[in-house]
Amino acid sequence: MNFRTVFIAIIIATGLIVSAYLVNSKRPRLIVEQPSAAFIRASGKCAECHRNLQYSIVHEFEMSQHAEKRVTCLDCHQVAQGQTGTNHYTFVISTKLTAANCRSCHETIYQQFLHSRHAAAAWAAVAGDTDFTPEQIAFAEQYQPGGVKRPPHPLTRLEGGAATQSGCYSCHSVGKPNEDGTIGNCTACHTRHTSSVELARLPSTCGQCHLGPDHSQLEIYTESKHGVMFAAQRNLLNLSAPPDHLTTRDMFVPTCATCHMSGINGRGVTHDPSERLSYYLFAEVTESRPNAGRARAKMKDICQQCHTAKLVDRIYAEGGAVVDATNEKMLAARAIMESLQQDGILSSTNFSQPIQFAYFDLWHYYGRTAKHGAFMGGADFVQWHGNYPILEHLVEIKAEAQQLREEHAKAGNAVSQ
Ligand code: HEC
Ligand code: HEC
Ligand code: HEC
Ligand code: HEC
Ligand code: HEC
Ligand code: HEC
Ligand code: HEC
Ligand code: HEC
């Protein structure tokens, strides 16, 4: 063999190796890197087709803990109890995935979720109780009294089906009952294929729903010291630390999840964010929850993983004072509305007179916002998005009530003053 032949042979061999590598790198990582035969059969086949059809979906799955732990596409997509199957290229898959497809492996978490307001109460807040079985209602009412046994929200009828579908339901379907007998879905905070705790711990994930004038939690957080610190130090936090080992060394700045769900420093992670809440802040007039003492102790214990008891007690005292002051203002406005109603001046149909909107905005936007801001570090929301518009709306409601009374009297009706 002369030098020329050897040279050509080396070039060809190198070319073959490089092209083999190139071809291989275009194949799904699932097929190339996963050695288990069952895994390749279930995930590799799905991925082979779907990588070309929906690259993003397969890629999100590939990056997940599920792929690492050999959970296959079919593990989730198979037909769970109560679901109908459909033939799909030699596989049988479910036509609609729900919490049932997660609970098979995460039952404890599903049970915690069921106790929470993210489950049945969230759906009933919009659609009422008609979609639930009597057993589901009885179960949920044990944990969220008054949360499910109620009529549909009047705005759904007034705004119509299209608005409700793309509006209310988009956020509140986190707790919609499914045909297979389960409630809700787990994808609101985990997505369908990413399934990561890192994603779930980001404020923007909760902020998909927890934002806007009626529950400005994301905006409040963003302007709070915690939010500012998170923006500055996000890269230093270990956002993907496993939940049962999460410490303040991983998360030394809290996000929504840290205060409401995470089990930092061995405190016990929960999928029921009500566990640490002592007030019904969202209510027209705020009352303490049935388990207020225990819940408050739990939340304070979380704060105290990073703070002294003195600081935490001060925030709770100030927050409690804002709750009391806001209640007083709401009760004053409610008394005006009730007396108009008694005198037959107010329509019995809600949302049909401007004054009813003024009252709804008063408690639903500004009252809530003031209370939420006080507990989560949002001074601007206690003041300029809270108490200032509360004052303004109280003046407006009084003036409108007076005018309605005068018009009513002019029309020849007798009223009690
Ligand atoms: C031979 C190719 C092929 C294989 C193998 C395959 N799929 Fe599909 N899949 C498709 C095509 C094509 C569609 C229709 C896509 C479209 O409408 O754009 C589809 C649709 C789907 C849908 C949407 C169904 C719907 O009605 O909304 C899901 C979910 C799905 N596949 C999951 C899987 C899973 C899980 C596996 C493996 C167990 C798998 N697929 C295997 C080609 C395949
Ligand atoms: C952790 C559970 C889980 C795993 C694992 C999983 N999926 Fe899914 N997938 C879901 C859920 C939940 C949906 C939403 C189904 C629904 O709306 O009924 C979904 C939807 C889909 C869809 C329809 C998506 C769309 O946007 O139209 C396709 C296609 C799909 N999955 C393919 C796959 C493939 C391929 C794999 C493996 C590479 C896989 N899935 C692994 C849970 C999973
Ligand atoms: C076949 C069993 C199985 C199914 C079905 C399943 N999972 Fe998992 N899941 C696992 C395993 C195993 C892990 C790894 C956890 C561990 O090692 O403790 C995991 C981990 C997770 C994690 C934590 C990931 C992280 O970043 O630490 C989340 C979130 C998760 N699953 C959500 C879901 C959701 C949502 C569904 C349904 C759409 C689902 N899982 C369906 C088995 C499953
Ligand atoms: C952007 C997402 C989103 C949309 C859209 C949305 N909500 Fe909500 N809703 C929430 C969140 C988040 C809360 C929790 C607020 C809190 O606890 O402070 C909530 C709370 C509520 C509550 C009070 C809690 C309870 O159980 O009584 C009611 C009632 C309610 N929503 C009804 C509706 C209705 C009706 C619509 C449509 C007209 C709607 N929501 C649209 C996210 C949304
Ligand atoms: C409201 C948002 C939200 C919903 C809805 C939700 N999760 Fe989570 N999940 C989280 C957060 C936040 C964490 C991380 C907690 C922490 O910081 O340690 C988490 C963690 C997890 C983990 C890892 C837990 C562990 O101990 O390793 C699994 C598994 C999981 N969720 C499954 C589910 C399942 C199944 C459902 C539906 C029944 C669900 N999640 C619904 C927010 C959510
Ligand atoms: C898909 C929309 C959605 C997402 C995402 C979401 N929530 Fe919610 N959340 C709701 C709705 C709707 C309610 C109100 C349910 C009710 O009271 O009727 C709610 C209520 C709550 C409550 C009040 C519970 C109570 O007992 O009053 C807390 C706290 C909460 N969510 C925390 C979180 C956290 C933390 C995250 C992120 C890890 C998150 N949520 C993600 C929709 C969402
Ligand atoms: C530093 C801890 C902390 C952080 C961070 C935090 N919260 Fe809160 N949150 C609280 C406290 C404390 C309360 C009031 C507790 C009570 O009722 O006793 C509260 C109340 C709430 C409520 C009110 C429930 C009701 O009764 O209306 C919701 C919803 C909520 N938080 C969601 C969020 C969301 C979403 C984020 C992130 C954008 C967030 N929180 C960030 C501590 C925190
Ligand atoms: C995971 C750690 C952590 C948790 C949990 C936590 N915080 Fe903080 N907090 C911080 C950090 C870090 C700062 C800013 C550091 C500093 O100024 O020393 C801060 C700042 C504050 C400040 C501003 C102090 C000032 O005067 O500038 C208040 C108020 C506060 N936190 C209240 C709370 C309350 C109330 C809770 C519980 C509901 C809580 N925090 C939970 C880490 C945490």
Q: Where are the domains of the chain?
A: 24-77
**Residue whose structure tokens are 């590598």:** 21
pLDDT of residue 30: 46
Q: List ligand 1's pocket residues with C-beta within 6 A.
A: 42, 45-46, 49-50, 53, 73-74, 77, 88-89, 91, 93
Mean pLDDT across 259-264: 98
Identity (one letter) of the amino acid at 147? G
For the stretch 14-40, what's the b/e string if a residue is b when 16 or more beta carbons lie within 10 angstroms of its beta carbon?
A: eeeeeeeeeeeeeebbbbeebeeeebb
> For all residues of the chain together, what is the average pLDDT?
92
pLDDT of residue 78: 95
299 lines ligand 6 (CB under 6 A): no
Task: Specify the range with the lowest mean pLDDT, choosing from 8-22, 84-98, 167-181, 287-301.
Answer: 8-22
292 lines ligand 6 (CB under 6 A): no
| 201 vs 10 pLDDT, higher one | 201
**CA distance linking residue 218 with residue 204, whole number of Å:** 7
For residue 26, what are the contacts with CB-CB under 8 A and spacing of at least 6?
none
The 10 Å Cβ neighbour count of residue 71 is 18
pLDDT of residue 412: 81
190 lines ligand 5 (CB under 6 A): yes
For residue 401, what are the contacts with CB-CB under 8 A and spacing of at least 6?
336, 340, 355
pLDDT of residue 44: 84
pLDDT of residue 11: 66
Q: Would you say residue 39 has pLDDT above 70?
A: no
179 φ, ψ to 5°?
-60, -30
- Taking the centre of ligand 5 as the mean of its atom positions, its distance from the CA of residue 189, in whole angstroms, is 7
Mean pLDDT across 297-310: 98
pLDDT of residue 36: 57
- Taking the centre of ligand 6 as the mean of its atom positions, its distance from the CA of residue 105, in whole angstroms, is 23
- Taking the centre of ligand 7 as the mean of its atom positions, its distance from the CA of residue 256, in whole angstroms, is 7
Q: Residues 379-414: pLDDT tens digits?
A: 999 999 999 999 999 999 999 999 999 999 999 876
- Taking the centre of ligand 5 as the mean of its atom positions, its distance from the CA of residue 271, in whole angstroms, is 6
Q: Residues 212-230: pLDDT tens digits?
A: 999 999 999 999 999 999 9
pLDDT of residue 413: 74
**CA distance linking residue 342 with residue 339, whole number of Å:** 5
Q: Would you say residue 357 has pLDDT above 60?
A: yes
pLDDT of residue 13: 64
Structure tokens at 152: 């549909």
Mutate-to-test residue for ligand 3 from 36, 43, 64, 71, highest number of ligand atoms within 8 A of CB: 71
The 10 Å Cβ neighbour count of residue 81 is 10
Model confidence at 284, in pLDDT bands (50, 70, 90)? very high
Strand stretches in 163-263, DSSP E: none
For residue 274, what are the contacts with CB-CB under 8 A and spacing of at least 6?
115, 116, 117, 143, 144, 289, 295
pLDDT of residue 416: 52
Q: Residues 110-139: pLDDT tens digits?
A: 999 999 999 999 999 999 999 999 999 999
Q: Give the end-to-end CA distance of the chain in Å, rounded to a whole number.
A: 116
Mean pLDDT across 20-42: 53
Q: How far is CA 144 from CA 85, 128, 186, 382, 384, in A?
A: 34, 14, 19, 27, 32
**CA distance linking residue 204 with residue 208, whole number of Å:** 6
Q: What pTM does this model have? A: 0.94
172 lines ligand 6 (CB under 6 A): yes
The size of the chain, in residues, is: 417
**CA distance linking residue 354 with residue 404, whole number of Å:** 11
Q: CA 342 from chain center: how many Å?
A: 39
pLDDT of residue 35: 45
**CA distance linking residue 405 with residue 397, whole number of Å:** 12
Model confidence at 33, in pLDDT bands (50, 70, 90)? very low
Structure tokens at 292: 């207020």
**CA distance linking residue 7 with residue 380, whole number of Å:** 75
Structure tokens at 301: 């214990």
**CA distance linking residue 42 with residue 59, whole number of Å:** 16
pLDDT of residue 128: 98
Q: Residues 146-178: pLDDT tens digits?
A: 999 999 999 999 999 999 999 999 999 999 999
Percent of the chain's residues with pLDDT above 70: 89
